[in-house]
């Protein structure tokens, strides 16, 4: 005997429906009830999977947010390094200018030293003539 909804069958019989027709209707309704129960179970499983996927998606968005923050931090550090590189370039230009001035001063000192040495040589020569007169 097929599965039937007994309450429905009894209600149909009480309402004057023949017993075989009431049994067939109760059996048919039991089939629908089973199908609806299966669908409900499947829907609950689908909802569970969707909730799991939504949770995973939320976790991914959180990771994307962290990654975005890290990228922003790195970009800030890169900007800071660029600024430091600019400062170093400026310092190099200053040092090059100072070096050029020192080289100019060194050249002038070399010229002056040569003149002083020449004058010293002349003085020594004159001293030599004064201390060693010709005989």
Per-residue pLDDT tens digits for 64-123: 999 999 999 999 999 999 999 999 999 999 999 999 999 999 999 999 999 999 999 999
Q: Is residue 40 part of a domain?
A: yes
Q: Is residue 120 part of a domain?
A: yes
Longest dimension (CA), the chain: 173
Distances, alpha carbon 1 to alpha carbons 6, 23, 38, 100, in Å: 13, 10, 21, 112
Q: Is residue 114 part of a domain?
A: yes
Q: Is residue 82 part of a domain?
A: yes
Q: Is residue 71 part of a domain?
A: yes
| Domain span including residue 118 | 6-130
Query: For the segment 8-39, what is each residue's pLDDT rounded down to a tens digit?
Result: 888 889 999 999 999 998 888 888 888 999 99
Q: Is residue 1 part of a domain?
A: no
Residue 12: what pLDDT?
A: 87
Please state the domain count of the chain.
1
Q: At 72, list the tokens.
A: 């922003």
């Amino acid at each position: 005997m097929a599965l039937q909804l007994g309450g429905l069958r009894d209600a149909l019989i009480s309402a004057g429906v023949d017993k075989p027709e009431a049994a067939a209707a109760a059996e048919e309704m039991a089939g629908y009830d089973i199908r609806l129960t299966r669908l409900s179970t499947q829907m609950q499983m689908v909802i569970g999977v969707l909730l799991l996927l939504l949770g995973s998606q939320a976790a991914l968005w959180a990771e994307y947010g962290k990654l975005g923050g890290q990228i922003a931090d790195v970009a800030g550090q890169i900007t800071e390094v660029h600024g430091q590189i600019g400062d170093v370039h400026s310092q190099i230009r200053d040092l090059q200018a100072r070096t050029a001035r020192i080289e100019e001063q060194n050249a002038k000192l070399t010229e002056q030293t040569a003149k002083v040495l020449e004058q010293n040589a002349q003085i020594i020569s004159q001293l030599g003539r004064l201390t060693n007169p010709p005989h």
